[in-house]
Amino acid sequence: MGAFRRNSRGLVTGGGMVAGAGAAYLSGGGLGGWEFAFTALVTYVAFRGLDSWTFIGIGWLLHTAWDVVHHLKGSPLIPFAHNSSLGCAICDPVIALWCLRGPPSPRELLHIKRPTAPQDPATP
């Protein structure tokens, strides 16, 4: 049960991050109504990501594609930083791959071993 709790918290956080990233371009509206369609799609994927790291990874890959479209159209994530969408498109696939492979827990990531109960020297 402890593994479920750890993973479910991570999934909720991951789903929330994907949903937020999916709505990041709404304020600029560089692609008109397509911004709302993309946000709706990513919101669905983020919702499915509450139960699946695979969907969280898919959400990050979708966001990567949207970053590329925005970069090519000249409508960056941060209006005064022309290459901001490109930078996001470079970073997001790394997050996606991490999610798609099933991310390690923080303990596993830091190579921290779980404490074991001391063994009685009298027992073999």
Q: What is the pLDDT of residues 48-71, one digit of tens each?
A: 888 888 998 999 999 999 989 989
Q: What is the pLDDT of residue 4?
A: 37
Q: What is the pLDDT of residue 1?
A: 35
The pLDDT value given to residue 8? 53
| Average predicted confidence (pLDDT) for the chain | 78
pLDDT at residue 57 in the model:
92
Q: What is the C-alpha to C-alpha distance for residues 114 and 2, in angstroms, rounded to an integer? A: 13
0.75 exceeded by pTM: no
Residue 16: is its pLDDT beyond 60? yes
Asked if residue 110 has pLDDT above 80, the reply is no
